[in-house]
A and B are shown apart, each in its own frame.
Chain A
């Protein structure tokens, strides 16, 4: 078991194995996203209250899911890197930060665009949007800290500590923002995301969520691979890989 664990920690092993899986993952992701996109845009029924603007849900909700899950991925990778001094985990953590921030950004922007036809304004201090904004700040903090260290090792350890602190804090922040919102909730604004979505609407959403998970994994692997190549560019195995590709 431990041998397996250490092999997994080897960047070279990861690079070679992930290379074999990558085309499959890319294909599945592409098909899922394409199916979900066409289904959600053209074939799902329009919402009775919100009309066609509700179709934004098919990117907004999956992006929000992955934005939050991505923070946990980052923090857990950081913890593994801190505890077992695993180089690969550090690289995964470093790759997860901009990816998660980008998805948080997508969730925020699509939420704002959705808000305009639904609430009549782009920005509402709603509990979920505010939490999402705080999440974006947390990601930005980790990225800023990562970039401000000159030593790669120190940068990784520092941002791992910060993302762990953030992970512990996220539930507290989310709960307190929720509580804050119930205090100030304006009566006129009510966001009805029906708990019982019609299956015709829900199935494409499910496809999109699975597609986004695959997309997340794909980009995380791609990022990690480029990080591995960059960091081990002086090693002989990277030179071999480059030579092989030229032939």
Chain B
């Protein structure tokens, strides 16, 4: 049982490592859109600092959303997904392995890059720790929720826009608690509350989302 999990995780990470260019894409996207903000708004540090928590979170969310579309695509096209769905191994674990791989490839780099971008948007010093902690858990929740949408739209030819339509409303709690943790810390309040809720969201979606994704994949494969 654990073997299937490890095998899929290793395979997905290996595939990602071989196409390093693709791993970099969401990170570059994150970088570029954050650069657009001072260009479109103002280079003034004090005003940027005001909106930095929200901007960073919204952009991280979009980067994660864009990358989750490809989660099952290549597996669907070359038939691997069919094998996964009909294999005797529990689909829940296999899906979890794929999501974990996705998070390691996109969520983790985004989290690690965020402090650099925070600095460029002159995020006050108190904001960095809750930003990283929140993104660490939050991007995992985003990957988990996004996988449901990716599973539902994998068989459709034009799934991309539909996927964002489906998934974005589900992302909202993550955005609310993630961004407000940073904001509260900047304003000098305790961040335990929002971060604890984020942890709860992570635990809950870990339990439920792979299950829903497995159901979605079954629907996509067999109608």
Q: Which residues of A contact B (CB under 8 A)?
A: 82, 134, 137-138, 140-141, 144-145, 148-149, 151, 153-154, 157-158, 161-162, 164-166, 168-169, 172-173, 175-177, 179-180, 183
Supply 8 further A-B pairs (C-beta < 8 A) apart from A154-B220, A176-B173: A138-B169, A140-B165, A144-B162, A144-B165, A161-B219, A169-B169, A172-B173, A179-B176
* B152 in contact with A158 (CB, 8 Å): yes
Distance (Å) between the CB of B208 and the closest chain A CB? 7
Among A153, A158, A165, A177, the most chain B Cβ lie within 10 Å of the Cβ of A165
Check if B173 sits within 8 Å of A158, measured CB to CB.
Answer: no
- Does B61 interact with chain A (Cβ within 8 Å)? no
Q: Is the CB of A141 within 8 A of B172?
A: no
Asked whether B201 lies within 8 Å of A137 as measured between CB atoms, the reply is: no
How far is it, in angstroms, between the C-alpha of A82 and the C-alpha of B180 when the chains are bound?
38
Task: Please indicate the chain A residues that have their CB under 8 angstroms from the CB of B216 in the complex.
Answer: 158, 161-162
Task: List residues of chain B with CB within 8 A of the CB of A138.
Answer: 169
Asked if B215 CB lies within 8 Å of chain A CBs, one says yes
Taking a contact as CB atoms under 8 Å apart, the answer to whether B169 and A141 are in contact is yes
Contact at A148–B165, with CB atoms within 8 Å? no
Q: Which residues of A contact B176 (CB under 8 A)?
A: 176-177, 179-180
Q: Mark B141-165, 1 if CB is under 8 A from A, else 0.
A: 0000000100011011011001001
A-facing mask of B169-211, CB < 8 A → 1, else 0? 1101100110010000000000000000100010010001000
Looking at chain B, what size class is its interface with the partner chain? 20 to 34
Residues of B within 8 A of A144 (CB): 162, 165-166
Consensus secondary structure, chain B interface: helix
> Which chain A positions have C-beta within 8 A of B166?
141, 144-145, 162
Minimum CB–CB distance for B175 against chain A, Å: 9
Contact of A165 among B170, B173, B204 (CB under 8 A): B170
Closest to A160 in B: B219
Chain A residues with CB below 8 A from B113, complex form: none
| CB atoms of B220 and A173 under 8 A apart | no
| Contact sample, A vs B, 26 pairs, CB 8 Å cutoff | A137-B168, A137-B169, A141-B166, A144-B166, A145-B166, A148-B153, A151-B223, A154-B219, A154-B223, A157-B223, A158-B216, A161-B148, A162-B152, A162-B166, A165-B170, A166-B169, A166-B170, A169-B169, A169-B170, A172-B173, A173-B170, A173-B173, A175-B173, A177-B176, A179-B176, A180-B176
Distance, CA A11 to CA B165, complexed state (A): 32
Query: How far, in angstroms, from A165 to B156 measured CA to CA in the complex?
Result: 19
Residues of A within 8 A of B219 (CB): 154, 157-158, 161
Closest partner residue, chain A, to B214 (CB atom) = A161
Within 8 Å CB of B180, what residues of A? 180, 183
Is B212 located at the chain interface by the 8 A CB criterion? yes
Contact B177 A176 (CB under 8 A): yes
Task: Return the contact of B172 from the options A134, A149, A164 (Cβ within 8 A).
Answer: A134
B146 to chain A, nearest CB (A): 12
Q: A140-B165, A153-B223, A180-B180 are in contact. Are A164 and B212 (CB under 8 A)?
A: yes
- Docked complex Cα distance between A140 and B159 (Å): 15
Residue of A with least CB distance to B204: A172
Bound complex: CA A158 to CA B152 (Å): 6
A149 touches B165 (CB 8 A): no
Beta-carbon nearest neighbor of B152 in chain A: A158
Contact of A134 with B212 in the complex, beta carbons under 8 Å: no
- Give, as a whole number of angstroms, the nearest-CB distance from B177 to chain A: 6
A161 touching B215, Cβ below 8 Å = yes
* A145:B223 contact, CB within 8 angstroms: no
Q: How far is the CA of A138 from the CA of B197 in the complex (A)?
A: 22
Q: How far is the CA of A180 from the CA of B148 in the complex (A)?
A: 25
A13 CA / B64 CA spacing, docked (Å)? 48
Q: Which chain B residue lies CB-closest to A169?
A: B170
Closest to B189 in A: A183
